[in-house]
Each structure stands twice: as C-alpha cells, then as structure tokens.
Amino acid sequence: MQAKAHKNSSGWNSVLFELRDSYLRYVKDWEEKIGSFIEFDIDRLSGAAESDVSHKEGPLAGVPFGVKDNFAVESFNITCGSKILEGVASPYTATSVKKLQDAGAVVVGKTNLDAFGMGSSTDNSAVKVTNNPWDLMRVAGGSSGGSAAAVAAGLVPFALGSDTGGSVRQPASFCGVYGLKPTYGVVSRYGLTAYASSLDVVGVISRTVEMAKTVFNTMKGQDIKDNTSVKHPGSSNSGKVKKIGILNIADGPLSEDVERSYLLSRGRLEKLGYETVNIEVPSFEYVVPVYYTIATAEASANLARFNGLRYGYRSKNGNGPGELMQASRDEGFGDEVKLRILLGTYVLRSGFQDQFYHKAQKIRTAIRNEFDRIFESVDLIMMPVFPTAAFKHGSADLDQFQQKVADLYTCTANLTGLPALAVPSSLEKGLPVGVQFTAPAFEEDRLFNIAEVLEAEFPSPKLSGTKDWS
Ligand code: GLN
C-alpha cells in the first residue's frame, strides 16, 4: 500500500493512508507487551473501507479506533471478556459505532475488559491479561482497560468504552489519557451489552480533548432503538466555567500520590483564575453500597439471557434443559460475575425488595438532589477519580473488596446520571494520575472547556516512544 496524505480534512492522522505495514508492526510490538486487543484486524475491513473512506470528508475520515468487546460490531466477534460468549459473532453494529463509521472512522479491533464490565483491573477477563503501558507489572484499570491501554500506547487515537460505575474514567486515569462519561441517555446504548441498564453509558477514551469532543458529538443523539436515549439540548451557558466546587478530600481514602496530584490540580485552577470553593457531599458514604445494590440487581436480570441454550458456550454436562443451563452458566461465567449475580438475586428476592433495592433507589434520588443543590452555586465539581494510581496485578495492592470500595468517586456520576471527565493531572513516581470534573446534566461542553484550558497550559506527559495521532 502506498503512503498518501497522512492527514484528513480535520487534521487527524489517518491509518488507511499510511504505510500499513509499519503501523501493523508498531501494533504488534506493543501488543506483545500490553495485550490490549482481543481481536485486531485492519485487513478485513480496510479493503472495503479504504475506497469508502477516501471519498469521505467527515471529521473522522480514515481514523482508526478500538471498541470495547461488549459492543456489537458486525464482522467481529463479541466475547464481553467471558467464556460464556466464546465464538459468538455480532450480527449487527451498535448505533454509537455505526455513527462513527458513517463519519469515516474505522474499527480496527475489539479491546479487552473485565467480563461483562465487572471490575476495576481487566484482570476479570477470561480472554487475556492487559498490562499498563506505563508499567507492565501493573493493571491498566478497568473495566475498559484494553481501550485505555491501546490509546495510551498510541495504537489508536481513541477507543470506546462503557461506563457503569467508572469503567471509562478509572482506566483513563491509570493510563494518562482522557475518559469521558456522558450524561445518561445522550448516546444510544443499542448494541452495548447491558450490565446495569439504569447506569450504563457509552464513553470515549482519547489522547486529546479535541478527539473526545469530536467523537462524542458524532455519537450523541436520540435513537429509536434505545428508548432511554434522549436528544441533547446543548449547553445552557455555552459551556462557560467560572466557579469550581472542590470536593473536600480530608477524610477520603486517597493515597499520598493521588492527594498530591489533586492539590496540584486545584492550584493550577486557581493560578488560571478560576474561583474555587470547598464542597462537601454528605451522602458520599452511601454511594458504594447503593451502587452495588442497584448494579448487581440489574446485572442479575440482564445476565439471565446467557443460558447456554440460544448461543455461546454450551456445557457438555447436564441432562435436559434445566441441568444444561445450570452447567453452562457454572462453567461459562467467572467468579466475579457469579458473585454479582448471587448478590443481585439476593437483594431482589421476594419480600426483601423494600429493604435493599427500593431503599437504594431512594438514596440514589437523594444523592442526585444533593448534586443539583451544589450546582446551584458552582459550574463544575472537581473530585478524584480513584484513591490510588495503577495497582499491581493480583490482590497484593488492593483486593477485590477494596477495589469496590474505591469506586466511590466514579460511580457517583452513574447514580446521578451526570456527565464526568477524567483528565490527566500528573505523573507520580512514574505513574499517571487523573482528576475528575463533573458537570450538571447535558453540560459536557463545560467539561471539554476546562480540560482544553488545562491541556494547553499543562500538557500531560505522553508515554515516550508512542505514536502521536494528532
Ligand atoms: N468497578 C465498577 C464495577 O466493577 C466499574 C463498572 C463499570 O463501569 N463497568 O462495577
């Protein structure tokens, strides 16, 4: 293939016009170290896509991207990181992905994840291990760890993730890139495998703010195939940011590194002339129990469809449909997924719904009201993303229970439905640490604006030797 123009009309590097062999070599070298993709194949797509793409003038013409392997993309398989979907091909393409393809972007592969999005490390994947490109002994975060690692290593300029409790923002923070969780409902979930339907959103992981913005604006919009989707009304104040509420972290569980990085970000905002005020969110102590009550309840219902009878993994054991289903689920699901199905079934069991699920829903509303009240006097809220930087594989640094407790800063935006963006803040002992901004509903523009100012004034360190797509 010949090297033609390297930039499309919007100035983005486009892989289909590049020397493909050197790109593939680059991907292979990194992939051996980080294991971010479950499937990678530009050949299968590029033949058809190349002629299409070369005629496209869209802002994303020829731009390659990765898609977390819990989205349906025609001509790729969909594993959701679980053995139970082994060998299942996607019969159709998710609306979010389709819109990006219509704008000229090209799916080059499917990225690794914690099975069904359940986890914070990508170690709960039954398919492979993903390493953090900044330190291969450490996790890339999760559950969209493959997407974040691929973007940080420069394999793609952006990748899609899903965010139910932080799965886009936490791995973005661990890998030193941007992670956007949009307002609930503004991007169609059609074709995204449901984990917890009232919390799930489609998110973007990217190396630059501009790319996150372009991808989000391309994907957003109401979709007849997702009846929870809504039309984005646009920002109420052109995305202007003057006053920022800074979450008090005094009693929080932050590591020293994350605390230092957080204070650094606060200092930068003040230096840039933003007005900052301390804020408290009293309901924070309830966020994790409420999240895990709602998420597991919804997951137990959503995952009932994987029964080994219709598609996917089917056990060789078991007589009759009942036993076959039981054996297939037992052998096909991993431990973390089973734990959550059991928890979800427990909180939903007959006679106990008021005690758990309904109570959690009431507290969820109270948390949202608290945020609405805070937003009466500030334009944005700044808070940490995760209490630690990337931890080591296994449970030595943070066991599975501690990982759940550590979701407090991210799962808040899912419970409230509000948009949030993880922004790289600093390198601490060689590891990236991010900071998170949350905005009122539909105010993604405020998130982009603050991130653009910070990006211009304090460019985040890029991993040396990685491909720069901008
Ligand atoms: N750590 C969260 C969980 O395990 C993240 C989930 C997500 O956003 N998919 O539930």
- pLDDT tens digits for range 159-212: 999 999 999 999 999 999 999 999 999 999 999 999 999 999 999 999 999 999
Q: How far is the CA of 378 from the centre of ligand 1 (A)?
A: 28
Residue whose pair of structure tokens reads 């509420």 in the numeric block:
245
Atom of ligand 1 nearest to the CA of 167: 8
Look at residue 396 in the predicted model and tell me its pLDDT.
86
Whether residue 48 is predicted with pLDDT greater than 50 in this model: the reply is no
Residue of the CA atom closest to atom 6 of ligand 1: 165
Instruction: Pick the catalytic residue from 56, 68, 98, 220.
Output: 68
Give me the long-range contacts of 467-470 (CB less than 8 A, separation at least 24): 467/26, 467/154, 467/155, 468/154, 468/207, 469/12, 469/13, 469/63, 469/154, 469/156, 469/157, 469/207, 469/211, 470/11, 470/12, 470/13, 470/157, 470/207, 470/208, 470/210, 470/211
What fold, for 16-470?
A: Amidase signature (AS) enzymes (3.90.1300)
* Average confidence (pLDDT) over 218-226: 98
Atom of ligand 1 nearest to the CA of 295: 10
Cα distances from 441 to residues 158, 185, 272, 418, in angstroms, run 24, 10, 25, 5
Cβ proximity of 125 and 112 under 8 Å: yes
Instruction: Pick the catalytic residue from 46, 143, 261, 426.
Output: 143
Minimal CA–CA distance to 143: which of 109, 107, 176, 179? 179
- What φ, ψ does residue 56 adopt, rounded to 5°? -85, 145
Cβ proximity of 83 and 37 under 8 Å: no
Whether residue 18 is predicted with pLDDT greater than 70 in this model: the reply is no
* Average confidence (pLDDT) over 418-444: 98
Look at residue 7 in the predicted model and tell me its pLDDT.
72
Whether residue 4 is predicted with pLDDT greater than 60 in this model: the reply is no
pLDDT band at 395 (very low <50, low <70, confident <90, very high): confident
Cα distance between residue 158 and residue 163, in whole Å: 15
Residue whose pair of structure tokens reads 């998130």 in the numeric block:
447
* Average confidence (pLDDT) over 85-104: 95
Atom of ligand 1 nearest to the CA of 117: 9
Atom of ligand 1 nearest to the CA of 407: 1
Greater model confidence, 20 or 378 = 378
Q: Exposed e or buried b for every residue in 352-386, given b needs 16+ CB within 10 A?
A: eeeebbebbbebbeebbebbeebbeebbbbbbbbb
Cβ proximity of 385 and 410 under 8 Å: yes
Task: For helices 209-219 and 95-102, give the axis angle rounded to 10 degrees.
Answer: 110
Atom of ligand 1 nearest to the CA of 165: 8
Is 390 exposed, middle or buried, given 0-12, 13-18 or 19+ CB atoms closer than 10 A?
buried
Whether residue 2 is predicted with pLDDT greater than 50 in this model: the reply is no
CA end-to-end distance (rounded Å), the chain: 22
Look at residue 17 in the predicted model and tell me its pLDDT.
53
Whether residue 49 is predicted with pLDDT greater than 70 in this model: the reply is no
Atom of ligand 1 nearest to the CA of 199: 8
How many CB atoms within 10 Å of residue 444? Answer: 26
Amino acid at 317: N
Q: How far is the CA of 148 from the centre of ligand 1 (A)?
A: 15
Instruction: Note if 68 is an active site residue.
Output: yes
Look at residue 233 in the predicted model and tell me its pLDDT.
97
Cα distance between residue 331 and residue 309, in whole Å: 13
Cα distances from 115 to residues 79, 143, 352, 445, 467, in angstroms, run 8, 8, 28, 32, 29
Q: How far is the CA of 124 from the centre of ligand 1 (A)?
A: 11
Look at residue 16 in the predicted model and tell me its pLDDT.
61
Q: Is 92 in a helix, a strand, or coil?
A: coil
Q: How far is the CA of 94 from the centre of ligand 1 (A)?
A: 20
Is 259 exposed, middle or buried, given 0-12, 13-18 or 19+ CB atoms closer than 10 A?
middle
Strands (E), 310-407: 380-384
As separate numbers, helices (DSSP H) first and strands (DSSP E) second, the chain gives 14, 13
Best residue for ligand 1 mutational test, from 114, 174, 193, 412 (most atoms within 8 Å of Cβ): 114
pLDDT band at 250 (very low <50, low <70, confident <90, very high): confident
Best residue for ligand 1 mutational test, from 113, 116, 164 (most atoms within 8 Å of Cβ): 164
The pLDDT tens digits for 315-366 are 999 889 999 999 999 999 999 999 999 999 999 998 988 899 999 999 999 9
Instruction: Pick the catalytic residue from 167, 188, 229, 426.
Output: 167
Look at residue 159 in the predicted model and tell me its pLDDT.
98
Cα distance between residue 249 and residue 265, in whole Å: 13
Strand (E) or helix (H) holding 366: helix 359-374
pLDDT band at 58 (very low <50, low <70, confident <90, very high): confident
Greater model confidence, 5 or 246 = 246
Residue of the CA atom closest to atom 10 of ligand 1: 118
Q: How far is the CA of 385 from the centre of ligand 1 (A)?
A: 13
Cβ proximity of 449 and 277 under 8 Å: no
Q: For ligand 1, which residues put their CB under 6 angstroms from it?
A: 117-120, 143, 162-167, 195, 295, 407
pTM of the predicted structure, to 2 decimals: 0.96
Task: Show Cβ contacts of residue 149 under 8 Å, excluding neighbours closer than 6 positions.
Answer: 34, 35, 36, 111, 130, 131, 132, 133, 140, 171, 175
Cα distance between residue 250 and residue 303, in whole Å: 39
Look at residue 15 in the predicted model and tell me its pLDDT.
66
Q: How far is the CA of 127 from the centre of ligand 1 (A)?
A: 18
The pLDDT tens digits for 105-138 are 999 999 999 999 999 999 999 999 999 999 999 9
Look at residue 1 in the predicted model and tell me its pLDDT.
35
Percentage of the chain exceeding pLDDT 70:
94
Task: Show Cβ contacts of residue 229 under 8 Å, excluding neighbours closer than 6 positions.
Answer: 185, 186, 187, 188, 189, 190, 221, 222, 223
Cα distance between residue 106 and residue 45, in whole Å: 8
Q: Is 378 in a helix, a strand, or coil?
A: coil
Best residue for ligand 1 mutational test, from 388, 401, 407, 410 (most atoms within 8 Å of Cβ): 407
Best residue for ligand 1 mutational test, from 167, 300, 405 (most atoms within 8 Å of Cβ): 167
Instruction: Note if 143 is an active site residue.
Output: yes
Q: How far is the CA of 69 from the centre of ligand 1 (A)?
A: 15
Whether residue 449 is predicted with pLDDT greater than 70 in this model: the reply is yes
- Find the range with the poorest average confidence among 31-45, 107-121, 212-226, 418-432: 31-45
Cα distance between residue 392 and residue 131, in whole Å: 9
Minimal CA–CA distance to 443: which of 409, 413, 412, 405? 413
* Average confidence (pLDDT) over 296-301: 97
Query: Residue 88 has which token pair?
Result: 């299942």
- Find the range with the poorest average confidence among 15-24, 50-59, 452-461: 50-59
Query: Residue 157 has which token pair?
Result: 């300029």
Look at residue 50 in the predicted model and tell me its pLDDT.
53
Look at residue 417 in the predicted model and tell me its pLDDT.
98
Q: How far is the CA of 409 from the centre of ligand 1 (A)?
A: 12
- What φ, ψ does residue 270 adopt, rounded to 5°? -70, -40
